[in-house]
Amino acid sequence: MNLVLLALALAISWLPAAAWLWRIIPAGIPARVPLVSGYACLLGLLGTTLIMRVFSLLGVSWSLPGMALVSLVIALLAFVCPASGDGVGDPVPGRVRRQLSRPQQVLVALCLALLASRLIALGLELGTRPITAWDAKQHWARQAKVFFDLKSTAPFVSLEQWLALGGDGVYTNLHPDYPIATPLLQAWIAVALGYWDNSLVNAPWLLMWLGIGLVFFAQARLAGASIIVALAACYMVLSLPYLNIHVALAGYADLLLALSYLGAVAALGNWLQSRASWQMILALASGAGCLLVKNEGFYWLLSLGPGLLLAVAGLRRGLTVLAAAALALLLTLYWLPGDFAIAGHSLASMEFGYRPESWLSIYLSTLVHANWHLLVYLLLIALLLVPMKARAMIPLAAVVIAAICLYLTLYLVTDNAHGAVRFTSLNRVALQLMPAAAFFTLSVFLIASGTAPGEKQ
Amino acid sequence: MLHLFTRIFVLVAFGLATLDARAEVWPAGLAKPLMGTATPQGEGIILQPNAAGQVLLEFPVEQLSLAANPRVRLRFDGPPPLQVYLLWRNSIDGAPLHQFKYLPRDNPTPIIDMADHANWQGEAQLLQLGFRGPPGQKIHFIDMAIYQPGLADHLRDLWQNWGAFSGWKPADINVYTGTRDFSSGPFPTPVFATLVFAAVAVYLLLARRNASWTGVGLIVFCGWLMLDGLWQVRLWQQVELTWSTFSGASNDEKLARADDAAFSNLARKASEFIGNPQAQVFIATRSDSAGMKTAYYLAPLNVYWHRHGPELPDLDTLAAGNFILLLRPSALRLDVEKNLLIDGRGNPLPIAIRYQDRTGLLLEVMR
């Protein structure tokens, strides 16, 4: 019965987003079903948290029937909206659908088998083990239990405020300013089950893993990858050990942010090639979703800016504007008062200053430890290839480089360096970027190899 | 190209198989028993410990350079002893008898690496092997080999390092190295990266103008597959461990089987005694871990826990009807006779003990 309720809860999250995406994303494009399914995983989960907030604002307690009804109404409303006619068809003109040869069939079967094995292993681990990891208990799930108990959101304040108010009507934890999408998802599953299940409340993390795979596969197909290449690359992303760990030891917010950022970057990347308006909608929706998940989502959303600027203004003018903007930003940060807060952190608390001791940790985490298999090596090669063999990818490279610069700034120039030296947050923040970086890497190789749209075959 | 790679693979495998280290081997028959008894049987000897569970064997040594031969391999037919002691005297410091203890666990051919041992230097002047086991255990000892590790040994070490499995540790959510320990290299990722890039270079050299992105992509994919194979196996081993620990357990039973059982149990009992869902509960402890776990298991109660801060706020802020969950270790002092909780500055707080177990105490503030 629990599994039925769980499936129902995930379907209630997925369905309204899928219905709207089915109307927005034109028919006839390759991989439409995985594209709709993947983005429905992301936007559906985020949408669920928004509906829960609205319920709380209106003073309505969360319940399975209530959420199901709203979900159904939203899904039905989608069919009132006219379907998108902005079909672009296959992004690789003249690409002929050929039957797969025997070796290709073996490769496809192998990838599917490996993915199935990974899904089963992660599903068993997640579904059997109670919440284990530190922050999952210290912050996210602890907040989720309060939300579930009240069937509503509740105000969380700082320790000092809590004491001043005598704890009356407020709760406290160490990061009351963190976005609440993650605990809302756990609370939602608990509401659907009718009780707090120490394992099953993390079921959305398996959906996030699937969402990453579906979004990656579909957008890779739209970028010009054949089924085999897209599937192989999808397996490579979904097999990243550190990404798997965040499913197995579920309960952190980083995986959802990774899915959001992938959704944004992949859609933006394909919009840069095709200028399809629905891709821009996906990019903006996914990018905005980053803000709901973690404070650093603000920075990842900002990282999309350079790519957009270069795409709109052209390379030369765009780079000039970017340089001027970067200088203006530095001057602004210099002149702003120390108590000015950005994404939940005051400038004074960041304690700006060069911290070279973080370099070793960054090097070990990306190129030596087994967190990312060979991904970072391939990413570095892709970045080198862009100016030589894939100039069309310059705007998307600007997005990735901007994100990398922000990441390096976080660990080399701010007080967060301790998170690098002690290997506590370094990989968790990197996880938020890696699936998107993988998509960028694949896109570069597709163009460099001449299989992407617009290149000579 | 596949044919070429197959040939290369066979050659390398054959070469590796023959590149084993030359070892100096002492058959068990050469050993002189100094403690316990030894009876020849088959290829080795059957050892029976003395009343204290000890066996001591002495081996003849001649011009054995210790530093040049850091590996000691023992062979047993059947279960090994619980403890193995390597005892030796070297030509550098002469008199002291050095000792190294090793636990073979269930391994019948344990290999002891003495490379990092400071006193495994010079020439051996005395070499003894000690075993300790339960009374009545018969140990079938075959031989001892001391040698310089060769390429095959290093590869075997590599495999054991990369293939080592242990269940989830708290740090695993932050980093995955792919090795047995955090600092013990070589790490698989740079090794595989080097092999993949070398393979790509060889392919490009051999194929030249016929080289294709498909070929390069296949090589990268195969390298990724092999590297991922290590992780895939480890993940399934973890699933097996998790399944054996938690499968079939109810929601509450899972907590009882988890490492946090003591804290979840305390929190559950405390919640029952507190009764009032609106109550405020202060967690007082100097342990980061204990505080975090208890705060989590007490939720959805309204919990105050200041990580890295004072165990309790100013006692004046605590009101009647508040609860304190006091966990070890704590700098707060409890005066049980006077029913007072005393903070670091000597300020007293009247309390009543509502519940206690080995993990902590639930106190109610009485003003």
B292:A245 CB<8 A: no
The minimal CB distance from A370 to the residues B223, B231, B280 is found for B231
Question: Are residues A7 and A68 both part of a single domain?
Answer: yes
Q: How far apart are CA A409 and CA A352, in angstroms?
A: 9
The minimal CB distance from A374 to the residues B196, B280, B299 is found for B196
Who contacts A22 (Cβ-Cβ below 8 Å, separation ≥6)?
A36, A78, A83
pLDDT reading at B189 higher than 60: yes
A369:B254 CB<8 A: no
Contact status, residue A258 vs residue A435, Cβ threshold 8 Å: yes
Question: Are residues A64 and A112 both part of a single domain?
Answer: yes
**CATH class assigned to B21-149:** mainly beta
Answer whether residue A90 is part of any domain: no
> pLDDT over 70 for what percent of chain B?
94
Q: Minimal Cα–Cα distance from B107 to chain A, Å? A: 28
Residues of chain B in contact with residue A428, where contact means CB-CB under 8 angstroms, are 173-174
- The pLDDT score that the predictor gives to residue B162 is 93
The minimal CB distance from A373 to the residues B170, B189, B254 is found for B189
Which one-letter amino acid corresponds to residue A175? H
Residues of chain A in contact with residue B238, where contact means CB-CB under 8 angstroms, are 125, 248
**CA geometry: angle A369, A371, A374, nearest 5 deg:** 85
Residues of chain A in contact with residue B319, where contact means CB-CB under 8 angstroms, are 166
Tell me whether B246 touches chain A (CB under 8 Å). Answer: yes
Structure tokens at A431: 């996880």
Its domain, for residue A343, covers: 268-448
Which one-letter amino acid corresponds to residue B77? D
The minimal CB distance from A373 to the residues B228, B236, B299 is found for B228
pLDDT reading at B2 higher than 80: no
Q: Minimal Cα–Cα distance from A329 to chain B, Å? A: 32
pLDDT tens, residue by residue, B32-49? 999 999 999 988 999 999
Which one-letter amino acid corresponds to residue A77? L
DSSP letter at A30 equals T
Residues of chain A in contact with residue B254, where contact means CB-CB under 8 angstroms, are 129-130, 198-199
A448:B213 CB<8 A: yes
Q: Minimal Cα–Cα distance from A242 to chain B, Å? A: 7
Residues of chain B in contact with residue A244, where contact means CB-CB under 8 angstroms, are 231, 235
B232:A137 CB<8 A: no
Q: At what angle do helices A315-335 and A297-313 cross, to 10 degrees?
A: 140
Question: Are residues A244 and A303 both part of a single domain?
Answer: no
DSSP letter at B273 equals H
Residues of chain B in contact with residue A118, where contact means CB-CB under 8 angstroms, are 232, 235
pLDDT reading at B281 higher than 80: yes
- The pLDDT score that the predictor gives to residue B279 is 93
Residues of chain B in contact with residue A135, where contact means CB-CB under 8 angstroms, are 173
For chain B, the domains span: 21-149, 186-244, 257-365
Tell me whether B277 touches chain A (CB under 8 Å). Answer: yes
Q: Minimal Cα–Cα distance from A312 to chain B, Å? A: 31
Best residue in A237, A245, A444 for a mutation probing chain B (most B CBs within 10 Å):
A245
Q: How far apart are CA B303 and CA B295, in angstroms?
A: 6
- The pLDDT score that the predictor gives to residue A239 is 98
pLDDT tens, residue by residue, A371-398? 999 999 999 999 999 999 999 999 999 9
User: Could you tell me how many residues make up chain A?
Assistant: 457
Nearest CA in chain A to B236: A121
Answer whether residue A168 is part of any domain: yes
- The pLDDT score that the predictor gives to residue B38 is 93
Domain boundary among A218, A252, A286: A252
pLDDT tens, residue by residue, B299-333? 999 999 999 999 999 999 999 999 999 999 999 99
Return left, alpha or beta for B347; rule: phi > 0 is left, psi -120 to 50 is alpha, else beta. beta
Domain boundary among A252, A286, A309: A252
Residues of chain A in contact with residue B296, where contact means CB-CB under 8 angstroms, are 137-138, 141-142, 145
pTM attached to this predicted model:
0.88
The minimal CB distance from B238 to the residues A125, A199, A449 is found for A125
Domain count, chain A: 2
Read off the pLDDT band of B16 (50, 70, 90): low
- The pLDDT score that the predictor gives to residue B62 is 86
**Mean of the per-residue pLDDT values of chain B:** 90
Question: Are residues A115 and A51 both part of a single domain?
Answer: yes
Q: Minimal Cα–Cα distance from A128 to chain B, Å? A: 6
Please identify every stretch of chain A with a pLDDT value under 70, giving residue numbers as ranges: 84-98, 453-457
Question: Are residues A344 and A441 both part of a single domain?
Answer: yes
B193:A377 CB<8 A: yes
Question: Are residues A292 and A344 both part of a single domain?
Answer: yes
Enumerate the H helices of chain B as residue ranges: 2-18, 151-163, 188-207, 213-246, 251-257, 261-274, 288-298
The minimal CB distance from B302 to the residues A143, A163, A171 is found for A171
pLDDT reading at B244 higher than 90: yes
Question: Are residues A138 and A185 both part of a single domain?
Answer: yes
Enumerate the H helices of A151-296 as residue ranges: 159-164, 181-193, 203-222, 227-238, 241-248, 254-274, 277-293
Considering only residues 152 to 191 of chain B, which have any Cβ-Cβ distance to chain A shorter than 8 Å?
168, 170-179, 185, 187-190
Considering only residues 27 to 66 of chain B, which have any Cβ-Cβ distance to chain A shorter than 8 Å?
none
Question: Are residues A368 and A395 both part of a single domain?
Answer: yes
- The pLDDT score that the predictor gives to residue A95 is 55
Answer whether residue A101 is part of any domain: no
Question: Are residues A76 and A116 both part of a single domain?
Answer: yes
End-to-end alpha-carbon separation of chain B, Å? 85
Best residue in B161, B162, B174, B276 for a mutation probing chain A (most A CBs within 10 Å):
B174
A146:B299 CB<8 A: yes
For residues B63 and B263, the model is more confident at: B263
A373:B227 CB<8 A: yes
- The pLDDT score that the predictor gives to residue A332 is 83
Answer whether residue A28 is part of any domain: yes
Q: How far apart are CA A29 and CA A201, in angstroms?
A: 35
Question: Are residues A302 and A153 both part of a single domain?
Answer: no
Is residue B210 exposed (0-12), middle (13-18) or buried (19+ Cβ within 10 Å)?
exposed
Question: Are residues A389 and A414 both part of a single domain?
Answer: yes
Question: Are residues A211 and A285 both part of a single domain?
Answer: no
pLDDT reading at B9 higher than 90: no
Domain boundary among A223, A252, A281: A252
Best residue in B158, B187, B296 for a mutation probing chain A (most A CBs within 10 Å):
B296
What ipTM was predicted for this assembly? 0.93
pLDDT tens, residue by residue, B138-183? 999 999 999 999 998 888 888 889 998 889 998 999 999 999 888 8
- The pLDDT score that the predictor gives to residue A98 is 66
Least confident of A190-199, B16-25, B59-68: B16-25
pLDDT tens, residue by residue, B176-188? 999 988 887 799 9
- The pLDDT score that the predictor gives to residue A454 is 42
